[in-house]
Amino acid sequence: MMHTRIGFAFALAVLSASPALADTCASHYESSGVPLVTGVTYKTWMVFPSVNPNAAFDKVSGAVLAEGFVDVNVEKKLGTLTAQQETSGSGRPQTLRVVVRKNDKGSRVDVVFIVQQGQVAPNMSKNLCRIANAVGE
């Protein structure tokens, strides 16, 4: 009887935690294109219910700068940020685009990274989520 209660309590805890786990940055991650053959677009998004868009934008901007992007173009009124990064040695830049917008009383952050044909970008889920998740830190 005691084992049944413990098992039930454990199952209930796992099931109740599942919706929170499903709404992570990595669960929103997707990519399109064929590495090296076509251009590839990597993207993810997150919602931060209690962070206003101005504060979210400031945090995202700082995270992008910390990642070493260059040619950063900030349009705070529009909630957009674009930046370039060249990591392949080819001289062809890769483009990062971040959009922060109002979502109810909080913010939604969309992060897109575009890689040109012939280039690859490893660990993009982790890298994009590091930028998006900076809003919650």
Q: Residue 88's pLDDT is what?
A: 63
Q: Residue 129's pLDDT is what?
A: 97
Q: What is the CA radius of gyration of the chain?
A: 18
Contacts of residue 130, defined as CB under 8 A and 6 or more positions apart, other chains included, come to: 63, 67
| Angle between the N-to-C axes of helices 53-66 and 124-133, in degrees from 0 to 180, rounded to the nearest 10 | 140
pLDDT tens by residue, the chain, 137 residues: 544 444 444 343 433 333 444 479 999 999 999 988 999 999 999 999 999 999 999 999 999 999 989 899 999 999 999 999 876 667 788 999 999 999 999 999 999 999 999 888 888 999 999 999 999 98
DSSP annotation string for 78-95: TTEEEEEE--SSSS--EE
Can you read off the two tokens belonging to residue 59?
């945090």
| pTM of the full structure | 0.80
Structural domains for the chain: 31-134 (3.30.530.50)
